[in-house]
Amino acid sequence: MYVPPLPGGAGGRDDAPAGEQPRVYQVWRGSNEFFLQGRFIFGPDVRSVFLTMFLIIAPVVTFCVFVARHLMNDFPDSWGISVMVVVVVFTVYDLTLLLCTSGRDPGIIPRNTHPPEPESIDGVNDSGGQTPQQFRLPRTKEVIVNGISVRVKYCDTCMLYRPPRCSHCSICNNCVERFDHHCPWVGQCIGLRNYRFFYMFVFSTMLLCLYVFAFCWVYVIKIRNAEQLSIWKALTKTPASIVLIIYCFLCVWFVGGLSVFHLYLMSTNQTTYENFRYRYDRRDNPYNRGILNNFLEIFCTAIPPSKNNFRARVTVEQGLQQTRSQCRSFMSPNMGKPIGDLEMGRKPVAWDEPRTAADIRDLEAGLEGMFDEKEGRIAHASPDLSRDELSAEFVEGRAGMHSRQSSWAQRATGEMEAMAVQMATARGS
């Protein structure tokens, strides 16, 4: 699931104290950004959250200064103060929902440290059974959901079969439960654990726009009645109201349309991803439980706890298990095929290309640590052990199966140990 940092600080962040295992968020394989030592998790486009905050705060401040301040004395019994109080409280509530949406785990499924157990043998070696057999994992599996067969896919990145309604986000590089979409405005995936807050944020933003829009017109009408002007001349008396009216009108079309669309999705218990890909109007929706129960599922059920403890220490067992898993002899459903998450628009890559680069870095780091001696680094003293040559030979060796790669590494390690002993003997003599 997680890998401890390699020697020399490689593979993790260097903010862990010496002698201690790093925390999960420090070696996280996804593209997420963490704040307050793993207490908040954001997507890689977290900067867009500040833009969204600015688009909310700036018009509210303009409204308070140029509109609400003038309305405070125009209502009897000090009711004018409530105009400003309500907009300030509503804005704080809206920003809180934004942070609840973008700063929490959306439902990330932890990655496996090794592939699941293969269910069928793809082929048997004809070398007398001296090497492990090679297995091929099926690309998809069938599971039953509410009496309807649903096909789930294997994720090569996370090495797991995705649960129903789960998808891999190519932006955050995580598998997310009940994946809806990746929202660039909140800089986070929208999934099982933050969809409720996302809809409440969008809906409250729409109400905030309508509130500012309405009271800007109230202020314009009061100017018209007080000075006996036409509505157009009254508008010229308050340019700030003109800007806010236009701004809120445009925003209401966006957040209002989004609110209505997600209202439809919730009533039919669909996600945005399912609506665009599967089109349940042409087939049975196994998740539809009726309009009332669908809304109760979204708003009245307990949010499941996160499956990730980002502040926990990475255990030694997890690192050893990861090392052992690299030597297993298995075949991915996409071994030898250019693959990619076409559902999320990822660029196709070879199945074992990312693993090849990681294995090269692991082997290089291990060899450097092996030949560290008090007199100096023997690995860098020998021209035959340069990184360029090692990487080239290793990549060529990776054209076969994982068993071939592991045997090559053992043979290379044995040769280098023998070479080190010979050099030490020659130096002693």
- Active-site positions read 183
CA dist., res. 60 & res. 50, Å (int): 15
Written as six digits, the tokens of 23 are 């925390």
Written as six digits, the tokens of 53 are 């905050």
- Say if residues 86 and 204 touch (Cβ distance below 8 Å): no
Distance of CA 45 to the CA centre of its chain: 10
Q: Is 129 buried (19+), middle (13-18) or exposed (0-12) by CB count in 10 A? A: exposed
> Of 268, 276, 298, 295, which is closest to residue 198 (Cα–Cα)?
298
- Say if residues 59 and 244 touch (Cβ distance below 8 Å): yes
CA dist., res. 83 & res. 60, Å (int): 12
CA distances from 8 to 110, 364, 369, 376, 424 (A): 26, 11, 9, 16, 25
Cβ neighbours, 10 Å, residue 377: 11
Residue 292 makes CB contacts below 8 A (sequence gap 6+) with none
- Say if residues 347 and 32 touch (Cβ distance below 8 Å): no
* Alpha-carbon torsion angle 95, 96, 98, 101, nearest 10: 180
Residue 77 makes CB contacts below 8 A (sequence gap 6+) with none
Q: Is 29 buried (19+), middle (13-18) or exposed (0-12) by CB count in 10 A? A: middle
Name the E strands within 163-247.
167-169, 174-176, 181-183, 188-190
- Say if residues 37 and 311 touch (Cβ distance below 8 Å): yes
CB-side neighbour CA atoms (13 Å) of 61: 6
> Of 264, 320, 268, which is closest to residue 293 (Cα–Cα)?
268
Residue 354 makes CB contacts below 8 A (sequence gap 6+) with 157
Q: Is residue 160 helix, strand or coil?
A: strand
- Say if residues 68 and 82 touch (Cβ distance below 8 Å): no
